[in-house]
Amino acid sequence: MTAHGAADPATERPHGAQHTAAEFAAVYGAAPTGTWAAPGRVNLIGEHTDYNDGFVMPLALPHTTLAAASARTDGVLRLHSGGADGGIVELRIDALRPEPDPQAGWAAYPAGVVWAMREAGLPVGGADLHYDSTVPTGAGLSSSAALEVVTALALNGLYALGQEPQQLARLAQRAENAFVGVPCGIMDQTAAACCTAGHALFLDTRALTRRQIPFDLAGEGLRLLVVDTRVKHELGDGAYAERRAGCERGARALGVRALRDVPYAHLPEALAGLADDPVTQALVRHIVTENHRVEEVVALLDAGRTRAIGPLLTTGHASLRDDFKISCRELDLAVDTANAAGALGARMTGGGFGGSAIVLVEEADAPAVGAAVTEAFAAAGHAAPRIFEAVPSAGAHRVE
């Protein structure tokens, strides 16, 4: 499980509250007031549904971003990360302006959180922050949400803002949308803020109602493997906005507020109504079937039939590959190889065009399935994937 004060199992790097606090002291010359953690996530099912007001089901990873922090009285924000080059970034909080510029650098994420809090009228002041993370960046595991949410939680603590986890997630999303300029939905930030150990989080992204679904993989003799393909195809950024615009086009054509409002039972009529626009038709088919798959997975988990969700993961992958068209050959290879080697099911997870896949597998089969994927990548001439276990872990919390 997560190791505050131990080595990260994936990287063997020291990682923990004490280590992060010591680094903070080395950077800023004094001990921090506190240290907070927020996790990366994988999404079990419900992909690209969050900006369609739909259903998602993420779980938090044991990999965390830690923030050691102290308040400052002079309105200055100083940011430093062990995972980023370039030393301390120093900003004045009253000079923060939304800057939808992907080149703004990593500091835009935490600076955006301060900006969003001030925009919301919260009495947040300056701070010194130092980050140390074991969440792989750009791997579809949402290191950006971990960075935002840990910042929001630290400031919430330092300034006694009294915000609930879901409110912090909202502020973090606002930072990413309006300040960093990434039009993401609410899933990633909610996962980082609200997940609990041993559970997957069933989230209705319209009502923002949440249900913690017990997901005791180890107790059932199962494993959920993450295959980080280590690739990120350039296509990704523009394609996300394009898919999102396509979904909005579909909702308009069907006369609904969001694709969430197309019931699964009405899918045939909806598709017939989009017959002259096959691109939009395929996007709508993915979203409507994907929302239905989330509900089916919830029903199966409620019935204690965890193994039976495997085929739904694989069907979801096919939908993302064929209808939403956001997979890539590395993700397809990971999924197909895992399934051929005896996995119960597998799918890409996250935004697509690279990043990670998840594989549900019997505990006894996990080593062979992992080895088969590694061999297939070597045989295809791809760089070795990074394979690790997704143990459903805690959401954001104070560690010291």
Catalytic residues: 188
Q: Does 33 bind ligand ADP (CB under 6 A)?
A: no
Q: Is 20 in the site for ligand ADP (CB under 6 A)?
A: no
Query: What does 106 bind: Mg ion, ligand ADP, none (CB cut-off 5 to 8 Å by kind)?
Result: ligand ADP
- Residue 214 region by backbone torsions, left for phi larger than 0, else alpha for psi between -120 and 50, else beta: beta
Nearest to 191 by CA among 40, 349, 343, 36: 40
Among 35, 144, 177, 205, binds ligand ADP (CB under 6 A): 144
With CB cut-offs between 5 and 8 Å by kind, which of Mg ion, ligand ADP, none does residue 70 bind?
A: none
Among the listed residues 9, 14, 125, 138, the single contact to ligand ADP using CB under 6 A: 138
The residue among 42 and 376 lying less far from ligand ADP, judged by its C-beta, is 42
Q: Which does 273 bind (CB under 5 to 8 A by kind): Mg ion, ligand ADP, none?
A: none
Which residues neighbour 122 within 8 Å (Cβ) at sequence distance 6 or greater? 159, 161, 163
Distance (Å, rounded) from C-alpha 144 to C-alpha 55? Answer: 21
Binding-site partner at residue 345 among ligand ADP, Mg ion, none, CB < 5 to 8 Å by type: none
| Closest among 63, 70, 43, 65 to 54, alpha carbons compared | 43
Query: What pairing do the DSSP bridges indicate for beta strands 55-56 and 199-204?
Result: antiparallel
Contact of 249 with 280, CB cutoff 8 Å: yes
What is the radius of gyration, based on Cα positions, of the chain? 21
Nearer to ligand ADP, 137 or 167 (CB): 137
Task: For the CB of residue 142, give the shortest distance to ligand ADP in the complex, in Å.
Answer: 4
Residue of 43, 49, 64, 133 that binds ligand ADP (CB under 6 A): 133
Provide the minimum distance between the beta carbon of 16 and ligand ADP in the complex, in angstroms, as a whole number: 15
Partner from Mg ion, ligand ADP, none contacting 65, C-beta within 5 to 8 A by type: ligand ADP
**DSSP characters for 225-271?**
EEEEEEEE-TTHHHHHHHHHHHHHHHHHHHT-SSGGGS-GGGHHHHH
| Measured distance CA(360)–CA(200) in Å, rounded | 14
What is the nearest approach in angstroms of ligand ADP to the Cβ of residue 192? 10
Q: By CB under 6 A, tell whether 88 contacts ligand ADP.
A: no
Question: Interface residues with Mg ion (CB under 5 A)?
Answer: 144
The type of residue at 273 is: G
Task: Sort strands 126-133 and 76-81 into parallel, antiparallel or unpaired.
Answer: parallel
Site for ligand ADP in 49-78 (CB under 6 A): 65
Residue closer to ligand ADP (CB basis): 139 or 284: 139
For residues 381 and 185, give the distance between their C-alpha atoms in angstroms, rounded to a whole number.
34
Residue in 106, 179, 324, 353 binding ligand ADP, rule: CB under 6 A = 106
Site residues (vs ligand ADP, CB under 6 A): 65, 81, 83-84, 106, 109, 131, 133, 137-144, 147
